[in-house]
Amino acid sequence: MTARFALILVAAFALVRGAAAQGPLVDASWLAANLEAPGVVALDIRADRKDYERAHVPGAIHSSYARDGWRVTGATGTPDMLPGPSALGALIGGLGIGNDDHVVVVAAGTSAADMSSATRVYWSFRMASHAKVSVLDGGMAAWSADPMSPVEAGERKRQAQLFKVTPLPRLVASRADVQHAIGARAPLADIRPSDQYLGVNKTAKVARRGTLPGAVNLPDSWLTQDNGGKFRSAAALRKLVASAGVPVDGDVIAFCNTGQLGSIGWFVLSEILGNPRARLYDGSMVEWAADPAAPIVVKIDSSGT
């Protein structure tokens, strides 16, 4: 082996090993190249463990986003809130994930709404001050789209670790922050489907129809290609965000019903478009609408139909 060829091999190996320091969104080819890299952990968050056990990314561990405690009832009774630091640390550490691991979150990848489960888990890691985390673009659907991509059946487990959570409050907006934003006419981005934004329909968990005063609508379905699991390009997202009236710079609060769909809006604004002042309203409309005195705007009154 010549010295030149040896250097090329070393450089290529370093490139693959160093790829673990990738950005917030990685594709299936990146994950395939880094499955064996030290410290890279694929975290399959599909709701049904049976789906995971039938076929998953080789080496991936599983934690059901819907069932395993990624969202809990808050101290004030608001459902689907971020767990406290000790509970979040116990959840993550119990999966065998440490503070030095690079986590790749794998959702099913069937729609923008499904991908919002991945961005919500991603946001949870970032709220713990864990920067080594990415979302698999397109989720398991993107991984399985290539017939050459290997899959594994059964279950993988890792030895539990101590995971230290250091809260990062700049990523979350409280109800008081939202009240201030309304008073200051600061940007608020409603990431729900347009019928819920307009007040035509609502989900069962939300007490009243409508949206926050002054909010503009950036539906989650706009953010992925054909409402599938793959995100649009940064250039396309920038145009769509601007056309919705959402600023790409400066203070902006994303919200939805329970803080899940809102997380995909936050992910686009903060992580893809690079706005560090974007925040997610964790309580969202479930918390806001529960207070009869909190103002809500109904843009289309369908109560008589």
Q: Domains (ranges, CATH) in the chain?
A: 13-145 (3.40.250.10), 169-289 (3.40.250.10)
- Of residues 259, 69, 90, 88, the one with CA closest to residue 174: 259
Cβ–Cβ under 8 Å, residues 128 and 32: no
Alpha-carbon separation of residue 181 from 3, 122, 200, 215 (angstroms): 61, 25, 24, 10
pLDDT tens for 61-90 read: 999 999 999 999 999 999 999 999 999 999
Alpha helix (H) ranges present in 19-103?
Answer: 28-34, 49-54, 85-94
- Of residues 238, 239, 270, 240, the one with CA closest to residue 253: 270
- Would you tell me the crossing angle of helices 85-94 and 112-127 to the nearest 10 degrees? 110
Buried b (16+ CB within 10 A) or exposed e, 259-285: bbbbbbbbbbbbbbbebeebbbbbbbb
- Of residues 31, 155, 181, 157, the one with CA closest to residue 104: 31
**pLDDT exceeds cutoff 90 at 212:** yes
Mean pLDDT for 11-27 is 60
Q: By percentage, how much of the chain surpasses pLDDT 90?
A: 90
**pLDDT at residue 4 in the model:** 36
Question: Regarding predicted confidence, which is higher, 2 or 106?
Answer: 106
pTM for the whole structure: 0.93
**pLDDT exceeds cutoff 80 at 7:** no
**pLDDT at residue 304 in the model:** 63
**pLDDT at residue 6 in the model:** 34
**Residue at token pair 């909190």:** 294
